Structure 1
Amino acid sequence: MQEQIINILADATGRDTADFSDASQNLFESGLLDSMATVSLLLGLQDAFGVQVPVSEFDRNQWDTIEKIEERVKELQNA
């Protein structure tokens, strides 16, 4: 799942997958993820994993690392 998330992040940001090699790195603080890329990320996660994350309910503190993204996607899949 993590590899798929990294690919979605790379597509959303236009960056290389190598930029996302540290799964615990804060994506917002590092400048890898901004508000526009976040929308693309959420759409990519929706398509890939069938989860719904309304932008209005998005809390960036819960989605700021690859590890947290993976955890949240798993939670939403099991909800």
Structure 2
Amino acid sequence: MDFKEKVLQVIAEVCEDDVVKEEHDMDIFDAGLIDSFATVELLVQFEEQLDINVPITEFDRDTWNTPNAIVDRLNELK
């Protein structure tokens, strides 16, 4: 499993919906797949499963809103 697939898997687990594995440009906030509580869980899972620490202060909903955007941001942090 490559990096992008791992990230998509984490997002799907937190969102509890595999649609994010197919719709990479879907706004997961607008779609109602993730809320503020799930956002924290997402960041925790990135650290636990991918060993990438994303400070909550770095997380901006406008730039972390799609699976593709999340993969891009994590690539910058790894």
- Note if contact 2:27-2:66 (Cα within 8 Å) is conserved in structure 1: yes
Task: Give the RMSD, CA atoms, in angstroms.
Answer: 1.4
Percent identity reads 33
Structure 2, unmatched stretches of 5+, are none
Determine if the alignment matches structure 1 residue 10 to structure 2 residue 6. no
Letter of the structure 2 residue corresponding to residue 48 of structure 1: Q
Query: CA-to-partner distance for each residue in 1:51-73, whole Å, 9 max, x for gaps?
Result: 21111331111210000100011
TM-superposition CA deviations, 1:4-57 (whole Å, max 9, x none): 2222123223x231x212000111111111111111111111122222111133
TM-score normalized with structure 1 length: 0.82
Q: Where is the helix percentage greater, Structure 1 or Structure 2?
A: 1
CA contact 2:8–2:67 (8 Å) conserved in 1: yes
Paired AA for residue 71 in structure 1: D
TM-score of the pair, normalised by structure 2: 0.82
- Secondary structure in 2 aligned to 1:7? helix
Find runs of 4+ consecutive structure 1 residues off by over 3 angstroms: none
Of residues 46-55 and 27-36 in structure 1, the stretch that sits farther from structure 2 once superposed is 46-55
